[in-house]
Amino acid sequence: MQEHIAKANQRMDDALHSLETAFAGVRTGRANAMVLDKIRVEYYGTPTPINQLAGIKSPDAHMLVIEPWDKGVLRAIEQAILESDLGVTPSNDGSVVRLPFPSLTEERRKELAKQCRSYAEEARVAIRNARRDANSAIEKQVKADSLPEDEQHRAEADVQKQTDTYIARVDAALKKKEAEVMEI
């Protein structure tokens, strides 16, 4: 039974990690290199993450500077950023690509907060699915090994306690991210 609980714990942990990764990709009013993680650039026929092609610096809170190691890929980086849903227009000066991050409008902030709530709900669903799968595996093991029902109830209570803890962590992460997005 402990292996079912451990497996559920691992799946819940994965859901929380996935949520944190999704939140990192949500653009706030500040420049953050993590927003570039999802963008891939065609480099010698291979889609490659920008951070593997260039150094990314943040000289101030509203600017990212991308300095590719191979200057021939400058145009491809600029094009990939334009085609992404980042909402930032890059400027290419021949040696670096600058990404100015303007302050977000109130409407855009609300849109991003809604997107964050959607990511949080996906994480909650994944956590509940892990709970459901663990409970059904525990139930099957109790029936197969003819263990007492008290064992089943105790194990299910442990899984529920884990679920509540992870849901609370998702809610806390959402609250923090929403505050960050809504901050002017």
Q: What percent of the chain has pLDDT over 90?
A: 37
The pLDDT value given to residue 39: 86
CB 40 within 8 Å of CB 48: yes
Using the predicted structure, report yes or no on whether residue 102 has a pLDDT greater than 80.
no
Residues 90 and 109 in one domain: no
pLDDT digit string, tens, across residues 129-181: 999 999 999 899 888 887 788 888 999 999 999 999 999 999 999 999 998 88
Q: How confident is the model at residue 62 (pLDDT cuts 50, 70, 90)?
A: confident
- What is the residue whose two structure tokens read 């650039």? 41
> CATH number, domain at 54?
3.30.1360.40
CA distances from 124 to 80, 115, 134, 169, 183 (A): 32, 14, 15, 10, 25
Looking at the structure of the chain, the number of domains it has is 2
Name the band, by pLDDT with cuts 50, 70 and 90, for residue 184: low
168 vs 184, residue with greater confidence: 168
Question: In this predicted model, what pLDDT tens digit does every residue of 13-26 receive, in sequence order?
Answer: 999 999 998 888 77
Q: What is the token pair recorded at 145?
A: 């090994």
What pLDDT, on the 0 to 100 scale, is given for residue 159? 93
Q: Which of 47, 12, 22, 9 is nearest to 174 (CA)?
A: 22
d(CA 139, CA 44): 53
Q: Which residue segment(s) compose the domain that 114 sits in?
A: 2-24+105-182
**Do residue 135 and residue 169 come from a single domain?**
yes
CATH of the domain at 160: 1.10.132.20
Measured from the Cβ of residue 145, the count of other Cβ atoms closer than 10 Å reads 9
Statement to judge: residues 89 and 41 lie in one domain: yes
The pLDDT of residue 133 is 94
Q: What per-residue confidence (pLDDT) applies to 15? A: 94
Residue 29 has pLDDT above 90, yes or no: no
